[in-house]
Amino acid sequence: MNPQENITAAIDIKELVFRFGPGLEPVLTIPSWRVEAKQRVFLQGNSGSGKSTLLGILAGLRTPSSGSVSVLDTQISSLSGRKRDAFRAQHIGVVFQQFNLIPFLSVLDNILLAGQFAGRASRANKARALELIDRVNLEPRLAGRKAEQLSIGQQQRVAIVRALFNSPSLLLVDEPTSALDHANKESFLRLLNEVLDDTNCAMVFVSHDPSIGEMFEDRVALDDLNQSGGTH
């Protein structure tokens, strides 16, 4: 199992059903959805459409009620909890809309902690972290700052660094720009795409905002995928 090489699909969903509890109406019913390796997909979904739930399933933080979810050619729902954690740490990067960093840890520690869970050797990590910090146009002196001392825009850029630090094969991004103003939004998206160009990483970018989708070649609306109707 080495998803880094020769991945056939970043995501391959078949007959996914997810409900929050037994007997409840399913929130998600996705007969089929596939994201190729290195593909960048914009997933448009309104608030409450179940997009965060879908991301949770893709990240292995939730398990589907039924169906098969293959992430990087791995049946993620069949892994044990511990293996899912390790899989996530090594192969999946996650960026949330706002709260991405542990507020009391320094920027550097936030990044290195992600490396820690991926089981990476630590000596080279610091240099790599500083390199990536520079890559997202943050001043090196910010590395030692507590995360909470940074602006939201700065925090989101650190979040990209952290998400990509372990060289994941899949990046899951959930409304990362919703807390940013228009100028920051654009520069953030540009930066994200630039950084991804250096990697072989696939991306699922989730937003309610269709205007962002214009920057993506591949776009899909969750409502089209999800036959549950997104009443959640």
Partner 1 sequence: MGTLGALFSVAYQSLRYRIGGVMLAIAAVAISVFVLLSVEHVRHEARSSFASTVSNVDLIVGARTGEINLLLLSIFRIGTPTANVAWESVEAIAEQPNVEWVVPISLGDSHKNFRVVGTTAEFFDRYMYGQSQPLTFQVGQRFDETSDVVVGSRVAAELGYALGDELILSHGMADTSFTHHDQVSFSITGLLAPTGTPVDNALFVSLEAIEAIHADEGETESSTDGSPGYVKAHEEDEEHVEHGQHDETKHHDEHAHHGEHKEHEDEHAHHDEHEEQEHKGEHADHDEHEEYTHHEEHEHEDEHGHHDERNEHEDEHGHHDEHEEHSDHHGHDHPPLGTVTAILVGLDSPGVTLQVQRRINEYTDEALLAILPGFTLAQLWSLVGGVENVLRGISVLVFISALFGLNAMMLASMRERKREIEILRSIGAPSLFIVALLVIESLLVVTLGIVLALAGLIGAILVVNNLLASELGIMLSLQVLYSSSFIALALIYLTTLILSLVPAWRAYAAAHSYSSGVEIN
SS3 content of the chain, % helix, strand, coil (to 5): 40, 25, 40
Residue 102 or 124 with smaller CB distance to partner 1: 102
DSSP string, 19-81: -SSTTSPPSEEEEEEEEETT-EEEEE--TTSSHHHHHHHHTTSS--SEEEEEETTEEGGGS-H
User: What Å distances lie between residue 179 and 18, 35, 86, 154, CA to CA?
Assistant: 29, 27, 30, 12
Stretch binding partner 1 (CB under 8 A), from 2-10, 11-19, 79-87, 131-139: 79-87
Max Cα separation, the chain?
53
Stretch binding partner 1 (CB under 8 A), from 71-79, 87-95, 195-203, 217-225: 87-95
Should residue 18 be labelled a site residue for partner 1 when binding is judged by CB under 8 A?
A: no
Shortest separation between residue 89's beta carbon and partner 1, angstroms:
2
How many residues of this chain interact with partner 1, rule: CB under 8 A? 40
Residue carrying the six token digits 């899949």: 170
φ and ψ at 17, to 5 degrees? Answer: -130, 130
| Two structure tokens written together for 8 | 């056939």
State which of residues 105, 191, 196, 215 lies at the interface with partner 1 (CB under 8 A).
Answer: 105
Binding mask 26-65 for partner 1 (x = CB under 8 A): ---------------------x----xx-xx--x-xx---
Segment 153 to 172, residues that bind partner 1, using CB under 8 A: 162
| Two structure tokens written together for 59 | 């990240």
Give the pairing type, strands 74-75 and 66-71: antiparallel
State which of residues 2, 14, 104, 181 lies at the interface with partner 1 (CB under 8 A).
Answer: 104
Residue 59 or 222 with smaller CB distance to partner 1: 59
Residues that bind partner 1 (CB under 8 A): 47, 52-53, 55-56, 59, 61-62, 81-82, 85-90, 92, 94, 96-97, 99-105, 109, 112-114, 116-118, 122, 162, 174-175, 178, 208
